[in-house]
């Protein structure tokens, strides 16, 4: 369950804190998976950083993504 939760958070971060949805990824076997893996690695590093150090909401991409979603609900 913990791994599934982590995967869900990473997937959410990919769509909320990166330009993944607008990226032009070539239709080459394995390329999209490679891009997702690189973005997941970046997301994990970002989470590790924010878990280890206090930060201000203005500098936190996660907080910014949450703020944008709550200000403009669909």
2-51 per-position pLDDT tens digit: 889 888 888 887 877 777 778 888 888 988 899 888 888 888 888 788 77
> Is the pLDDT confidence value at 73 over 60?
no
- What pLDDT does residue 69 have? 63
Look at the chain and report how many structural domains it folds into: 1
pTM equals: 0.59
Q: Which domain holds residue 29?
A: 2-71
- What pLDDT does residue 47 have? 79
**CB-based contact 35:23 (threshold 8 Å):** yes
Angle at 67 between CA 13 and CA 40, to 5 degrees: 10
Which among 61, 59, 72 has a CA at the least distance from the CA of 16?
61
CA distance 63 to 57: 6
């Amino acid at each position: 369950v913990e791994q599934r939760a982590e995967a869900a958070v990473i997937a959410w971060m990919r769509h909320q804190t990166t330009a993944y949805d607008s990226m032009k990824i070539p239709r080459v076997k394995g390329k999209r998976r490679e891009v997702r893996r690189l973005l997941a690695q970046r997301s994990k590093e970002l989470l590790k950083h924010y878990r280890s150090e206090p930060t201000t909401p203005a500098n936190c991409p996660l907080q910014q993504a949450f703020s944008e979603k709550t200000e403009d609900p669909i």
